Amino acid sequence: VNTMTGGGIGSAMFAGREAGITAAEAILADGVSEKRLQEYHQRWDKVQGKRLRRYDRLAKAVEKMSDDTFNRTCAVLMTMDP
């Protein structure tokens, strides 16, 4: 789940696809050993992990801001082009 937006459908779809691919490859190749299935985590982390860890760090930083700092930060961000 994206800690900034609460979203997660896209991440869940990616995770399901990668889990299915990893399981199918393991079954066809040599069985479902723990080491073989660890490939799922590596695939997920490569694509989703870094982004979600970044969102989590951002959410924690925002939680620590005072209301005034948060409001001033938002005001500056609103003046910037997307």
The pTM of the full predicted model, rounded to 2 decimals, is 0.61
Residue 52 has a pLDDT of 86
Residue 64 has a pLDDT of 95
Cβ-contact 2, 56 below 8 angstroms: no
Q: Which of 58, 51, 60, 54 is nearest to 77 (CA)?
A: 58
Residue 63 has a pLDDT of 92
22, burial (CB in 10 Å: exposed 0-12, middle 13-18, buried 19+): buried
Condensed to tens digits (0 to 9), the pLDDT of residues 22-67 reads: 999 999 987 788 888 888 999 888 888 888 888 899 999 999 999 9
